Amino acid sequence: MSMERPPLRIVISDPRAGDKVVKVKVKGVEDIEYRDSMRKSKEKDRSELPIARVSRKLYEELSLGEIGVMTLRFITEDGKKANVPFKVEVSDDLGDYEVQVSMELLGEVAGNLEAEAEAFRAKAWQIAVPEETAIRLAGLEIGDVFDGSIIGFEGVKLKIRGGSDATGIPMHPGVPGALKKAVLLSGPPGFHPREKGERRRKLVRGRVVPDPRGERRKTALAQLNVVIYYGEGGK
């Protein structure tokens, strides 16, 4: 990964996630790998999701088969909520509402080897991708659909919704190219009017994902927002 620019973080949203929440018992085990690239403590630079082993009943009840990503919500030792997204694996050896995760991860998040949590199909999560992956996305535009295998999600289609650079300047679907440009806006992205009919000239980025090799560190595209694409008419 280039040392000159921060990694591109891709925020993935699942419009079919729903609101179903199930209480589960989580146990830390030694045989689930927990690599440095999965660490909760390095969430902003995490390049892959940690693994959770779930029962078939929970897998089916939360409809995890489509995408295979689940969030566990823990209450930390200081009383705060911590949401951790996981890629799931199914086990027929677990009780209906039992979940197994890395022992090290559970200790990091919950401070114990066993914990209670709320489980739900993940609504959104983020991963950081290396520069060679960001290069493969270069040239795509807001509205384009690409194969999720590019970022490690096999069998999934992803649709680009927007993004922003390291200074917070957003991509705008109405601006061609990848360069920044000051345009007159009457609404988001880039401007949220306080009064009806208000317009303001704001600096935005074009709708095209840039080649990271041509970007400067302080102004490089830092976040790309995508949504799982289920086809026309699908959520």
Q: What is the pLDDT of residue 32?
A: 95
Tokens of residue 153, six digits:
């999600």
Kindly state whether residues 116 and 22 are assigned to the same domain.
yes
Kindly state whether residues 107 and 153 are assigned to the same domain.
no
Taking residues 197-224, report their average pLDDT. Answer: 86
Domain boundary among 122, 148, 179: 122
The answer to whether residue 5 scores a pLDDT higher than 70 is no
Helices (H), the chain: 56-61, 103-110, 131-137
- Give the chain's domain count: 2
CATH code, domain with 31: 2.40.40.20
Kindly state whether residues 93 and 134 are assigned to the same domain.
no
Please state the pTM of the whole predicted model.
0.88
Kindly state whether residues 33 and 94 are assigned to the same domain.
yes
Kindly state whether residues 103 and 176 are assigned to the same domain.
no
The answer to whether residue 211 scores a pLDDT higher than 70 is yes
Q: What is the pLDDT of residue 2?
A: 41
The answer to whether residue 193 scores a pLDDT higher than 80 is no
- The parent domain of residue 95 ranges over 18-122
Instruction: Please name the residues in contact with 6: beta carbons below 8 A apart, sequence gap of 6 or more.
Output: 166, 217, 220, 222
